[in-house]
Structure 1
Amino acid sequence: MTSAQPLSLKAEGARIMAVFAHPDDEAFAVAGTLAAYAQAGAEITLVCATRGEAGKMTDPSMTVTDLGQQREAELRAACQAIGIPVPVFLGYHDSGRFERTRHDDPLALMNVDVLDIEDKLRALIEERRPHVLITFDPHGGYGHVDHLQMQRATVSAFFSTGHLPYGGPQRLYYTVFSSEVARNLNMMDPTRELEPERYGISEATAAVKMNVAAYAEQKKAALAAHGT
């Protein structure tokens, strides 16, 4: 499929829940997909575990006194750009990385029992009744501990909610990138040290591909909303 015309999706009445760890995870991973399905009539729930309090400021021109509050506002703006409702926050703290790692914070996602996270997701699934769950792949994209926690909790919730009266989620999808993308990420940021054949997949492995070129401007706007 090479056309940049909007996709002909039959999604009226469909319910999709995308589960991630930090503000901006959704923009990099599935902004185009969520925009496409939202426009086609699907009900989208975006779940974000943290407010990204321990993230790294990449724009030195910005003055931010409360990073978590700022990143929450950025995520809300990104959702507006995508065309989906405001996000649902689980209330955990960003674990950080490298020198910013919050080893002693009991609410840092890395220190939370994954079954407790699963319980929160189970309650949301019971409330929102999604047909489809979307989350990180088993390597957490690039191995961030918070991504890994949310991946495990979401997979567990998928398998433990089939008993719900509405039947539970019917499909679970992972966001992935190719080995070629992993190589390019290494060139852009050597600190990632991603093994391309471990963290990236072969094109033949992908179960679903969508051309979301028609929603590129929405995806770009969502990315731009994450100014920090």
Structure 2
Amino acid sequence: MTNRPLTLMAVHAHPDDEATGTGGVLARYAAEGIRTVLVTCTDGGCGDGPGGVKPGEPGHDPAAVAAVREEELRASCEVLNIGHLELLRYADSGMMGWPNNDAPGAFWRTPVEEAAGRLAELMREYRPDVVVTYDENGFYGHPDHIQAHRITMAAVELTGIPAKVYWTTMPRSGMQKFGEVMRELGSDWEEPTLEEAAEEGAVQADGPEFPEIGLPDEEIKTWVDTREYGGQKFDSLAAHASQGENIFFLKMGKERFTELMGIETFVRVKDTTGAPLPEDDLFAGLR
């Protein structure tokens, strides 16, 4: 028998991604004594600069933005009590179709086998029992999210280490509720159509059909209650203050945020434990 601690590894694309879909499980499992490891693949340099200045606009300095976002990421990790932060430091690729996609050092243009090799080394070091990342569409079509999915699944294949692998998702009922809350708060938010997503750069207009975000509730078999940690999750998002203009969840306050985002949902794509579905614990079958 080994004394190695049970370990959760979350692989995300940018600083702040750790908070939205997995902030609850990272906080919950840290509180339960499970070792938590966050791998952030890019530097977030395509985020907003001071005053909300966007990439390509005068005054936007990707290196300076990346430096600020790394500080914010470390603050978020403290809030969530994440045990280990690993930075791959690839350049942020921006939204699909941006010139940044093909810039030297961009995560999107990095060969999968190269980045997967680096991630595989981290898996060998930490030996995670559970690995969490995005689905094959990167949840909403962002190239860095898609690439994070690709390198994670390749690293899992290379190492065979994790007993369980999950992709983040959201139930369609949650998407509907989110829209209701945003409109209640004065927003005209609606789930984007393919054409709107293409205009925003989330997908290519001539690319594959843009799938709906999330899944029908009945197709999701892993629902993890993290409402006890809703305040931490909210505060971890708030730590990314430089991107506050884009973090609409912060507009609803902690109570409404926890009500809306307090259950985190996943699709289990690898399991060697035989734990039955549905389940309410990523570590079911491991403890």
TM above 0.5: yes
Identity %: 34
Give the superposition deviation at 1:105.
1.6
1:73 and 2:71 equivalent? yes
Compared CA separation, residues 101 and 87, structure 1 to 2 (3 A): farther
Give the superposition deviation at 1:192.
3.8
1:37 and 2:29 equivalent? yes
Query: Which of 66, 69, 80 matches 1:82?
Result: 80
CA distance in 2, matches of 1:96, 1:60: 15
1:174 and 2:167 equivalent? yes
Partner of 2:245: none
Q: Secondary structure at the match of 1:200?
A: coil
Instruction: Give the TM-score, by structure 1 length.
Output: 0.83
Partner of 1:15: 7
CA distance in 1, matches of 2:156, 2:149: 11
Partner of 2:221: 207
CA distance in 2, matches of 1:69, 1:44: 23
Q: Which has the larger radius of gyration?
A: 2
CA distance in 2, matches of 1:32, 1:58: 29
1:95 and 2:93 equivalent? yes
Give the superposition deviation at 1:106.
2.1
Show CA shifts across 1:35-86 (max 9, x none). 000000001110000110012359549x986100011111100010111135
CA distance in 1, matches of 2:85, 2:236: 13
CA distance in 1, matches of 2:20, 2:141: 15
Give the superposition deviation at 1:198.
2.7
- Contact 1:19–1:133 (Cα < 8 Å) also in 2: yes
Letter of the aligned partner of 1:90 in structure 2?
A: L
Compared CA separation, residues 108 and 197, structure 1 to 2 (3 A): closer
- Contact 1:158–1:169 (Cα < 8 Å) also in 2: yes
Q: Secondary structure at the match of 1:53?
A: coil
Give the superposition deviation at 1:199.
2.2
Give the superposition deviation at 1:117.
1.1
CA distance in 2, matches of 1:58, 1:67: 8
Q: Name stretches of at least 5 consecutive residues in structure 1 with no aligned partner.
A: 1-11, 163-167
CA distance in 2, matches of 1:98, 1:208: 30
CA distance in 2, matches of 1:73, 1:219: 17
Partner of 1:152: 150
Query: Which of 27, 39, 44 matches 1:47?
Result: 39
Q: Secondary structure at the match of 2:230?
A: helix
Partner of 1:56: 48
Partner of 1:4: none
Q: Name stretches of at least 5 consecutive residues in structure 2 with no aligned partner.
A: 54-58, 183-187, 203-208, 243-287
Q: Secondary structure at the match of 1:19?
A: strand
CA distance in 2, matches of 1:99, 1:152: 19
Partner of 1:226: 240
CA distance in 1, matches of 2:159, 2:96: 35
- Contact 1:77–1:225 (Cα < 8 Å) also in 2: yes
CA distance in 2, matches of 1:146, 1:46: 16
Question: Would you say how many aligned residue pairs link Structure 1 and Structure 2?
Answer: 211
Letter of the aligned partner of 1:226 in structure 2?
A: H
Runs of 4+ with deviation above 6 angstroms:
193-197
Partner of 1:132: 130
CA distance in 1, matches of 2:81, 2:144: 26
Q: Pairwise CA RMSD of aligned residues?
A: 2.7
